[in-house]
Chain A
Amino acid sequence: MDGQRHTIIGYGTLTAVWVALLLLTALTVGITRLELGGYRVLGALVVASLKGGLVIAFFMQMKSEGGLLRLFLLIAVVTLAIFIGFTFFDVLYR
């Protein structure tokens, strides 16, 4: 285990991220009120991805991690994107 490298993120940043998350949550709720048709799901997914990204980058400190872990994260994100994307072959054309 790599005990030496430990990035400390200041309270200011953490609070800012937290506020951003709250705003994005409000946006998620807001989107459901708009008449966006099929794009509503897309909107919700984009907002959710942004939120997930913030949590991973700051709270889980991925921002300060090395290349290998970033690659692993990328694989996970791409996999998830494919899983979600492929269900749209069904949902959009049913």
Chain B
Amino acid sequence: MDKAATAQNSFWNDTGRSGLTAWIFSTDHKRIGLLYLYSTTGFFLAGVILGLILRIELMAPGRTIMDPRTYNALFTLHGVTMIFLFILPGFPGAFGNLVMPIQIGASDVAFPRLNLLSWWLYMAGALIALSSLFTGGGPPDTGWTFYVPFSTRTGTNVTLAVFGVFVIGFSAILTGMNFITTIHRLRAKGMTWGRLPLFTWSLYATAWVQILATPILAITLLLVMAERLLGTGLFDPGRGGDPLMYQHLFWIYSHPAVYIMILPAMGAISDIIPVFSRKPVFGYKMIAFSSVAIAAAGSLVWGHHMFTSGMSDRAVLVFSLLTFIVAIPSAIKVFNWVSTLYKGSISLEAPMLFALSFILLFSIGGLAGLILGAAATDVHVHDTQFVVGHFHYVMFGGTGFAFFAAMHYWLPKFFGRRYREKPAIIAWGLMFTGFNILYFSMKILGMRGMPRRYYDYLPEFADLNLAATVGSWILALGVAMMFVNLVSGLLRGEPFTGNPWGGATLEWSVATPPPTENFAEEPVVTHGPYDFTAAGRR
């Protein structure tokens, strides 16, 4: 970062320590946010490369570049990296830390040191999980879900990988506790709950899920370790155990966890769309309420991952019904975003393009979710490429694209420099095109019966698989272009000053880049987060 470009008291100039230690031991929420940003995007790029390799294997039937065992290990690594190292910590860790304290008018989070510890735990967990690749029986091959009985029997190094994920869980719990306390206790004068920006609302709902659900993952993973190391028999029917209990426990966490992934993304979109529509958000209260409703209802639907597992029919009925109920608050959000656009003065800049494609891709993914949530249709597409297409639409097309929207929207504020608009838009176009070619093909393949997690397939699936692989190249080209443009722009681009997009939330009222203490004097909030006239937009 070019120091000359930054304001005198900007958080970039806050020296006390020097070099790397000024970062990895800093308790400033903005520095911790950037640490999270660098580490999660680093893992994301690694995951993309793994995804591309998987796609090359699937380019043609039969063995293309690897044997089945390698394929199993690679999709496990790809899944674990994307889920536990990128998408779960990504939004809360990076943008939650960067933006949320400023949005509520605070000078930092409630427990800055705990915040730093969260990042350290995350990194430690990541290193432990990754070291499982090179130690013991080698890379785990269970898939990211670590299902028993396979995960307790395979000779690969599941124990260490699971322990790494266990440690990362603590990082999530600490972040959740920190954010809840911060939002309750550190809001500036006048920042009532009804004036909380929707991104902050979504982080609040997310934090509750992090606190309530993550311990269950921790226990579940400990039980897998106990089973492997001590042979407790908890999941072994031969000794009175129950293998389905593992699936219950795993999804009791992991389904709410998909809301940890998507809620902050929805929050960011709710902040971006009004700004680029030049119009207050439609239905503020309902969007805020639906975040909490999604967090609550989303915790009750885990059984829809188990329709074909042999679970009781009554449970299938209950979980299927509940799944349809979660669709309601999600749809409320989509309708509110679209209503915000209605008669707005829309400006199609990079953050907005990503935000708009989020709405489309998330809706496609979400509607496919209903096909999976209906027990009758799920039986046909369970464990097929349809599922893989579905969750990439919501996780990548949803959260991923929202993450990119957030990068283009907020990062210039923190770096004081901006990216070039044209390459950003071309990159977006490539990604959007490649994405749909890739994952829509996978959905059709799944509908036609191609199972997931296989390195080979029947010859009749060849055409669409080739198309999907070509799509993955277009997508990757877009991703590469976006990152190159962002990095070069944020480091050496035109200066970014003031509030060019006219945002009305507090982060746009502070200096660019923000000072270490965020606010020169404690702010007093007199208007809502989307009251653009009161915020004095040109």
Q: Using a CB–CB distance below 8 Å, which chain A residues touch chain B? A: 68, 75-76, 79, 82-83, 86-87, 89-94
Chain B contacts of A89 at CB under 8 A?
303, 312, 314-315, 318-319
Least CB separation from B310: chain A residue? A94
The distance from the CB of A60 to the nearest CB of chain B, in whole angstroms, is 15
Contacts of B427-453 to chain A: CB distance below 8 A: none
Partner of B212, one of A68, A79, A92, A93: A79
- A82 and B318 form a contact (CB under 8 A): no
Query: 7 closest pairs, A vs B, by CB?
Result: A90-B315, A93-B312, A89-B315, A94-B312, A93-B314, A90-B311, A90-B312
Main secondary structure of the interface of A (DSSP, over half): helix
- A76 and B312 form a contact (CB under 8 A): no
Chain A contacts of B216 at CB under 8 A?
83
Least CB separation from B184: chain A residue? A68
Number of interface residues of B (CB under 8 A): 21
- B318 and A86 form a contact (CB under 8 A): yes
The distance from the CB of B93 to the nearest CB of chain A, in whole angstroms, is 23
Cβ proximity bits B202-214 to A, threshold 8 Å, 1 near / 0 not: 0000001001100
Known: A76-B212, A79-B212. A86 touches B311 (CB 8 A): no
**Interface: B420 (CB within 8 A):** no
Least CB separation from A84: chain B residue? B252
**Interface: B313 (CB within 8 A):** yes
Least CB separation from B247: chain A residue? A90
Q: Using a CB–CB distance below 8 Å, which chain B residues touch chain A? A: 184, 208, 211-212, 216, 244-245, 248, 252, 299-300, 303, 306, 310-315, 318-319
Known: A76-B212, A83-B216, A86-B318. A93 touches B300 (CB 8 A): no
| Total CB contacts across the A-B interface at under 8 A | 41
- A86 and B303 form a contact (CB under 8 A): yes
Please, how many angstroms separate the alpha-carbon atoms of A22 and B216 in the complex? 25
Main secondary structure of the interface of B (DSSP, over half): helix
Chain A contacts of B314 at CB under 8 A?
89-90, 93
18 contacts between A and B (CB under 8 A): A76-B212, A79-B212, A79-B299, A82-B299, A83-B216, A83-B252, A86-B303, A86-B318, A87-B252, A89-B312, A89-B314, A90-B306, A90-B312, A90-B314, A92-B312, A93-B314, A93-B315, A94-B310
Partner of B300, one of A75, A86, A94: A86
Chain A contacts of B306 at CB under 8 A?
90
Partner of B248, one of A68, A76, A90, A92: A90
Least CB separation from A78: chain B residue? B212
Please, how many angstroms separate the alpha-carbon atoms of A32 and B248 in the complex? 23
Known: A76-B212, A79-B212, A82-B300. A87 touches B312 (CB 8 A): no
The distance from the CB of A32 to the nearest CB of chain B, in whole angstroms, is 11
- A90 and B244 form a contact (CB under 8 A): yes
Chain A contacts of B313 at CB under 8 A?
93
Supplied contacts A90-B311, A90-B315, 15 more A-B pairs, CB within 8 Å: A75-B212, A76-B212, A79-B299, A83-B216, A83-B252, A89-B315, A89-B318, A90-B248, A90-B303, A90-B306, A90-B314, A93-B312, A93-B314, A93-B315, A94-B310
Least CB separation from B252: chain A residue? A83
Chain A contacts of B248 at CB under 8 A?
87, 90
